[in-house]
Chain A
Amino acid sequence: MNIRPLLSLLALALLPSALSAQPVPAPPAANQAIDTASGAWEGIVNIDVSVLMPDYREPWNAGQPSGGSGTGFLIGKNRFLTNAHVVSNATRILIRTTNDPEPHPAKIVHIAHDCDLALIEAEDGSHFDKLKPLEFGGIPQLNTEVIAIGYPIGGDRISVTRGVVSRIDFRPYSHTSVDSHLAIQVDAAINPGNSGGPVLQEGKVVGVAFQGFSGRVAQNVGYMIPVPVIKRFLKDIEDGRYDHYVDLAASDFPIENPAQAKALGTGSDGVGVMVGDVEPQGSVGDLLKIGDVILSIDENPVMNNGLVRFEGELMDMNEIVERKFAGDTIKLKYMRAGKKLEATVTLKRFDPYVRLGAQYNQRPRYIVNAGLVFQPLDRNLMDAHQMRDDTVNYVFDNFLTDKLYVERPEPVVLTNVLPDEVNTWITPYAHSIVDEINGVKIKSLKDVQTALAKKDKPFIEIILLEKNRPLVLKRELAEAAHKRIMQTYNILEDSYLGDE
Chain B
Amino acid sequence: MKLSQILLFLALGAATLPAQTALPEAAKKKRAPAAPEGAAVPQQVVQSNSLVKVNATSQPYSLHMPWQKETPSGRRGLGVVLTGNRVLVTGQMVADATYIELELPATGQKLPAKVLAVDYEANLALLESAPSDKQQAFFAGLKPMAVDSGTRIEDKVDILQTGRVGELIKSELKIGKVLTRRYNVEGSGFLVYEANNIVRSEANSFTLPVVKGGKLVGLLLSYDSKNQVTTILPAPIIEHFLKDVADGSYEGFPSLGMELQATLDEQFRDYLGLKPDAPGVLISMVMKGGSAEKSGMKKGDILVAINGFAIDSRGDYKDPQFGALSSSHLVRGRAYVGDKVEIKVIRDGKEVTLNGELTRRKPDDYLVLPYLFDKGPRYLLMGGLLFQELSRPYLDAFGEDQRGGAILRLTRIALHPDKYEEEGRKKLVFLSLVLPTPSTQGYEKLGGQVVNKVNGKAINDLNDLADAFKNAKDSVHVVELNDFPHILYLDSFNAERDNMRLLGGAYRIGSLKRLE
Residues of A within 8 A of B (CB): 251, 253-260, 262-264, 274, 276-277, 290-291, 390, 393-394, 397-398, 401-402, 422, 425-426, 459, 461, 466, 468-470, 472-474, 477
List B380-413 residues whose CB lies under 8 Å from chain A. Answer: 404-405, 408-409, 411-412
22 contacts between A and B (CB under 8 A): A251-B485, A254-B442, A256-B442, A257-B439, A257-B442, A257-B443, A258-B441, A259-B476, A259-B477, A259-B490, A274-B485, A277-B485, A390-B411, A397-B405, A422-B267, A425-B267, A461-B271, A466-B416, A468-B259, A468-B284, A472-B271, A474-B270
User: What is the CA–CA distance of A355 and B409 in the complex, to the nearest angstrom?
Assistant: 20
Q: Give the CA-CA distance A426 to B442 in the complex, in Å.
A: 50
**How far apart are B426's CB and chain A's nearest CB, in angstroms?**
23
Contact A469/B284 with A258-B491, A397-B404, A474-B267 known, Cβ cut-off 8 Å: yes
Q: How far is the CA of A477 from the CA of B443 in the complex (A)?
A: 59
Chain B residues near A259 (CB-CB < 8 A): 439, 476-477, 489-491, 494
A253-B485, A262-B476 known; A425 vs B270 contact (CB < 8 Å): no
Interchain CB contact under 8 A, A262 and B491? yes
Bound complex: CA of A262 vs CA of B267, how far in Å?
65
- Is B40 close to A, CB under 8 A? no
B489 and A425 within 8 A (CB):
no
Contact A426 B265 (CB under 8 A): yes
With A251-B484, A260-B489, A277-B486 as contacts: A477 and B267 at CB distance below 8 Å: yes
How long is the Cα–Cα vector from A394 to B414 in the complex, in angstroms?
A: 13
Q: Mark B460-486, 1 if CB is under 8 A from A, else 0.
A: 000000000000000011100001111
Chain B residue at smallest Cβ distance from A466:
B416
- B487 on the A face (CB < 8 A): yes
* Inter-chain contacts of A473 with B (CB < 8 A): 267
B484 — which chain A residues lie within 8 A by C-beta? 251, 253, 276-277, 401
Cβ of B322 < 8 Å from any Cβ of A?
no
- Using A263-B476, A425-B268 as known contacts, say yes or no to A290 and B486 having CB atoms under 8 A apart: yes
Known: A260-B489, A263-B476. A472 touches B267 (CB 8 A): yes
Partner of A291, one of B284, B412, B486: B486
Query: Does the CB pair A401–B483 fall under 8 Å?
Result: yes
Q: Which residues on A sit within 8 Å (CB–CB) of B295?
A: none
Given contacts A254-B442, A258-B491, contact A469 B416 (CB under 8 A): no
Assembled-state Cα–Cα distance A474/B259 (Å): 25
For the A-B complex, the count of residue pairs with Cβ-Cβ distances under 8 Å equals 93
**How many Å lie between the Cα of A381 and that of B512 in the bound state?**
47
Contact B271 A459 (CB under 8 A): yes
Q: Which residues of A contact B494 (CB under 8 A)?
A: 258-259
Q: Assess whether A397 is in contact with B408, with CB atoms less than 8 Å apart.
A: yes
B151 within 8 A of A: no
What residues on A are CB-neighbors of B490 within 8 Å?
Answer: 257, 259
Question: For A397, what are the chain B residues with a Cβ–Cβ distance below 8 Å?
Answer: 404-405, 408
Chain A residues, Cβ within 8 Å of B416: 466
CA distance A294 to B284 in the complex (A): 49
Closest Cβ of chain B to A52, distance in Å, is 32
CA separation between A401 and B406, bound complex, in Å?
A: 10
Among A255, A425, A472, A477, contact of B442 (Cβ-Cβ < 8 Å): A255
**CB contact under 8 A between A394 and B412, given known A253-B484, A262-B491:** yes
Minimum Cβ distance to chain B for residue A374 (Å): 19
Measured CA separation A461–B409 after assembly (Å): 29
Inter-subunit contact A425/B259 (CB<8 Å): no
With beta carbons under 8 angstroms apart, the residue of B268, B409, B488 that contacts A260 is: B488
Contact residues in B for A277 (Cβ distance below 8 Å): 484-486
Give the CA-CA distance A396 to B292 in the complex, in Å. Answer: 35
Nearest CB of chain B from residue A383's CB, rounded to whole Å: 16
A477–B265 alpha-carbon span in the complex (Å): 13
Question: Could you tell me if A425 and B443 are in contact, using CB atoms closer than 8 angstroms?
Answer: no
> In the complex, are the beta carbons of B268 and A263 less than 8 A apart?
no
Does B264 touch A at the CB level, under 8 Å?
A: yes
**B117 sits at the interface (CB 8 A):** no
Are A472 and B268 within 8 A (Cβ)? yes
The answer for the CA separation of A276 and B442 in the assembled complex, in Å, is 13
A472's closest neighbor in chain B, by CB?
B271
Hey, which chain A residues are within 8 Å of B442, CB to CB? 254-257, 260
In the docked arrangement, what's the CA distance between A259 and B385, Å? Answer: 14
CB pair B268–A394 under 8 Å, yes or no, is no
Q: Give the docked Cα–Cα distance between A422 and B261 (Å).
A: 19
CA distance A473 to B483 in the complex (A): 40
**Residues of chain B lying within 8 A (CB to CB) of residue A255:** 442
**Distance from A153 Cβ to chain B, minimum over Cβ atoms (Å):** 32
Q: Is B285 an interface residue (CB 8 A)?
A: yes
| Contact residues in B for A291 (Cβ distance below 8 Å) | 486-487
Question: In the complex, which residues of chain A have a beta carbon less than 8 angstroms from the beta carbon of B405?
Answer: 397
Nearest-neighbour CB distance to chain A for B186, whole angstroms, equals 15
Contacts of B265 in A (CB 8 A): 425-426
Does B95 sit within 8 A of A, measured CB to CB? no
